[in-house]
């Protein structure tokens, strides 16, 4: 995924009301931009940190741009725009970069499934049947370790998705929880049990039910992002 036009650099003044961020561009322009991240963004930002943002010329938009990347307190790059995760995964799927999911004959997005009114991020159709894939964007890193964690805040929605995947797996349908790690310098992913013990328990139950759990890491720069390598998922 290339950023076109290229991202602009600035520094963060503050994030507030969840979806708003005040920044100052390198030229000194003060802007309020959109923050497309519903999580806590724990360890993703600090006052004065470097950020990169995209501009929009759409007259229907209330804000002039979107926050895309952040330099974390640990010196990593994080793609904090969670709306990018599914597009990154689709790009990697179609390029055959996710070996475990190669060979599908059709790809559909936002497919209704389960008994709790869920929508799978992807349904991949293979000659021997479908696979339902849920994608989660991971940006939570920590000092002195290259292991990232998910989630960064309690997620009832994420726990519901694990229940839905597990139910399908028990019925003999292939299901996959895919962590899209949008954080540089990471080798493995784990459940953030200290933040959401219910989600961590749900992940263990899902794996026991037969849900495949995968993680792929992204190469991130202000020029673009791409999923490139498989990461370890720790129990």
DSSP secondary structure, 16-56, as one string = ETTTEEEEEETT--EEEEE----S--TTS--TT-EEEEEE-
pLDDT digits (tens, 9 = 90+) for 189-208: 999 999 999 999 999 999 99
pLDDT at residue 60, rounded to an integer: 84
* Residue 17 structure tokens: 């009301």
pLDDT digits (tens, 9 = 90+) for 138-180: 999 999 999 999 999 999 999 999 999 999 999 999 999 999 9
pLDDT at residue 43, rounded to an integer: 97
Note whether residue 172 is domain-resident: yes
The fraction of the chain above a pLDDT of 90, given in percent, is 94
pLDDT at residue 56, rounded to an integer: 86
Q: How far apart are alpha carbons 166 and 207 in whole angstroms?
A: 8
User: Which of residues 38, 60, 77 is at a domain's end?
Assistant: 77
pLDDT digits (tens, 9 = 90+) for 24-59: 999 999 999 999 998 899 999 999 999 999 998 888
Which candidate, 49, 48, 11, places its Cα nearest to that of 33?
A: 11
Strand partners, 14: 22
For the segment 65-91, the average pLDDT, to the nearest whole number, is: 96
The fraction of the chain above a pLDDT of 70, given in percent, is 100
235, pLDDT greater than 80: no
**Residue 1 is inside which H or E element, if any?**
none
For the segment 91-119, the average pLDDT, to the nearest whole number, is: 96
**How far from the centroid of its chain's Cα atoms is residue 124's Cα?**
19
Q: How many domains does the chain have?
A: 2
Burial class for 128, CB neighbours closer than 10 Å (0-12, 13-18, 19+): exposed
Please indicate, yes or no, whether residues 73 and 154 belong to a single structural domain of this protein: no
Please indicate, yes or no, whether residues 202 and 217 belong to a single structural domain of this protein: yes
User: Which of residues 77, 111, 133 is at a domain's end?
Assistant: 77
What's the mean per-residue pLDDT of the chain?
96
Give this prediction's pTM: 0.95
Note whether residue 2 is domain-resident: no
Sign of CA dihedral 149, 154, 155, 160: positive
Please indicate, yes or no, whether residues 47 and 127 belong to a single structural domain of this protein: no
Note whether residue 196 is domain-resident: yes
Q: How far apart are alpha carbons 187 and 103 in whole angstroms?
A: 26
For the segment 79-93, the average pLDDT, to the nearest whole number, is: 96
Please indicate, yes or no, whether residues 162 and 205 belong to a single structural domain of this protein: yes
State which residues form the domain around 29. Answer: 8-77
pLDDT at residue 221, rounded to an integer: 95
């Amino acid at each position: 995924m290339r950023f076109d036009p290229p991202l602009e650099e600035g520094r963060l003044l503050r994030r507030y009301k969840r979806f708003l961020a005040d920044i100052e561009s390198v030229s000194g322009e003060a802007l309020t931009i959109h923050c497309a991240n519903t999580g806590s963004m724990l360890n993703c930002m600090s006052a004065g940190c470097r950020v990169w943002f995209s501009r929009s010329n759409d007259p229907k938009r209330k804000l002039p741009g979107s926050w895309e990347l952040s330099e974390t307190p640990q010196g990593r790059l994080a793609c904090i725009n969670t709306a990018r995760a599914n597009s990154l995964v689709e790009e990697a799927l179609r390029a055959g970069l996710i070996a475990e999911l190669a060979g599908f004959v059709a790809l559909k997005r936002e497919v209704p499934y389960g008994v709790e009114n869920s929508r799978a991020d992807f349904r991949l159709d293979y000659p021997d049947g479908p696979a339902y894939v849920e994608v989660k964007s991971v940006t939570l890193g920590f000092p002195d370790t290259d292991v990232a964690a998910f989630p960064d805040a309690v997620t009832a929605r994420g726990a519901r998705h694990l229940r839905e995947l597990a139910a399908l797996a028990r019925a003999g349908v292939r299901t996959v929880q895919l962590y899209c790690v949008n954080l540089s310098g990471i080798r493995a992913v784990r459940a953030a049990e200290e933040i959401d013990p219910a989600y961590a328990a749900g992940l263990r139950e899902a794996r026991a039910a037969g849900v495949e759990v995968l993680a792929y890491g992204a190469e991130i720069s202000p020029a673009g992002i791409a999923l490139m390598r498989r990461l370890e998922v720790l129990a």
